[in-house]
Amino acid sequence: MANVSIKALNKSYGPVDVLKDINLEVEDGSFVVLVGPSGCGKSTLLRSIAGLEPVTSGAISIGGRVVNELPPAQREIAMVFQSYALYPHMNVEKNMGFGLRFSGTPRAEIDARVSEAARILQLDPLLKRRPRELSGGQRQRVAIGRAIVRKPQVFLFDEPLSNLDAALRVNTRVEIAKLHKLLKATIIYVTHDQVEAMTLADKIVVMNQGRIEQAGKPLDLYYRPANRFVANFIGSPAMNMFEVTVKSRSAVQTKSGAAIKTQVPLEFKIGEALTFGIRPEHISAAKGPANFSVTLDMVERLGELGYAHCELGTGEKLIVELRGEAPVSRGQKLQLAFDDANVHFFR
């Protein structure tokens, strides 16, 4: 396994810049997830690392070797595609061993590696089947098996769970995490699902419009998002955000005039316009003094968990996470409180 180092990477299609000044370090054996909305460039970045797309400038290094000029086969990578990309005319065994046929690996070695991978992924009973005889989850495992057989320095996953149904997705997510520990593999993984990112990653890289917004440990991004975009992207339901002006060192006022009591850090001046953010799960009914009050619009109950959709001021919507059977009714005025440590201010 090796580390991956990307320095000052730029990629343009003619006049359009799709990747802008990407700098990223992937430590050996770590699981890095590239996440972001559609079109943010995460797949393009992955494919550039793989060698399936040329880059305009910058350097990609794998294991200390600059690989810009090398074709994919020589970069010692293996890729798992969103649609699995299994060869329809070959059975599972041949699919997994296909790449090695052309690299001069002796037959016995190929067979050994294939059975090893099959054992790890529990594919033994399926070895002689064709892809069309397999279920989605099975095909996905074969795709992973094909990658393992190559014994690459880096594994690249391109939205591998997108085509699976919800239940299977959860199971397979756990399987992938276990695989990572077992193989001690360096994995770069692309997804648009922030839940996958949060649960699988050692490091999350949030991308937007070709740029890296923030990279770091999942909980770092959760508790200390660097900007509005990351704050909004990580966490579900999304963070509540309001445009406010600083009224005093201990209060801010929203656009519609509602007041929120909170300690304002010294770096922000009185009268400054900021975005105030607080996550739904960090707000609760006030037991003592309240930080602000809202009007309840509607409650969604999912058993133990519930979401209260409230209105702070005209047109300013807020979601609060409820636990247990908190009695609330429509139109009710709620007094809410939060810990100042969980408040985020963005310029």
Partner 1 sequence: MAQDSQIELVGLNRRSYIRVLAFFLLPAVLIYSLFSIYPLIATIVDSFYLRHDQAPMTYNGLGNFYTLLGDTTWSVPFWNAFRNNCYFFLIHMCVQNPVGLALAGLLSLPRLRLRNAYRTLIFMPTMLSVVIIGFIWQLILSPLWGIWKMLLGSVGLGYFFGPYLGEESTALITIALISVWQFVGIPMILIYTALLAIPDELIDAATVDGLNQWRAFFYVKLPLIWPTIGLVSVLTFVANFNAFDLIYSMQGALAGPNFATDIMGTLFYRTFFGNQLQLGDPTMGSTIATMMFVFILIGVMIYLFLIQRRMQRYSF
Give the residue, chosen from 9, 79, 187, 200, that forms a contact with partner 1 under the rule CB under 8 A. 79
**Minimum Å distance from CB 57 to partner 1?**
20
**Minimum Å distance from CB 193 to partner 1?**
20
Cβ-based nearer residue to partner 1, 11 or 279: 11
Q: In the stretch 124-143, what mask flags binding to partner 1 with x, by CB under 8 A?
A: --------x-----------
Give the residue, chosen from 1, 98, 183, 192, that forms a contact with partner 1 under the rule CB under 8 A. 98
56 touching partner 1, by CB under 8 A = no
Give the residue, chosen from 64, 88, 303, 324, that forms a contact with partner 1 under the rule CB under 8 A. 88
Q: In the range 276-315, which residues lie near partner 1 by CB under 8 A? A: none
**Taking the CA of residue 194 as centre, how many other CA atoms within 13 Å lie in the half-sphere pointing to its CB?**
20
- Beta-strand relationship, 186-191 and 154-158: parallel
CA angle 190, 69, 71 (to 5 degrees): 65
Cβ-based nearer residue to partner 1, 131 or 225: 131
Residue 227 CA: distances (Å) to CA of 32, 221, 233: 20, 10, 10
Cβ-based nearer residue to partner 1, 36 or 97: 97
163 touching partner 1, by CB under 8 A = no
Cβ-based nearer residue to partner 1, 72 or 306: 72
Give the residue, chosen from 103, 122, 248, 250, that forms a contact with partner 1 under the rule CB under 8 A. 103
**Minimum Å distance from CB 103 to partner 1?**
6
Binding site for partner 1 (CB under 8 A): 50-52, 71-73, 77-79, 81-83, 85-89, 98-99, 102-103, 132, 146, 150
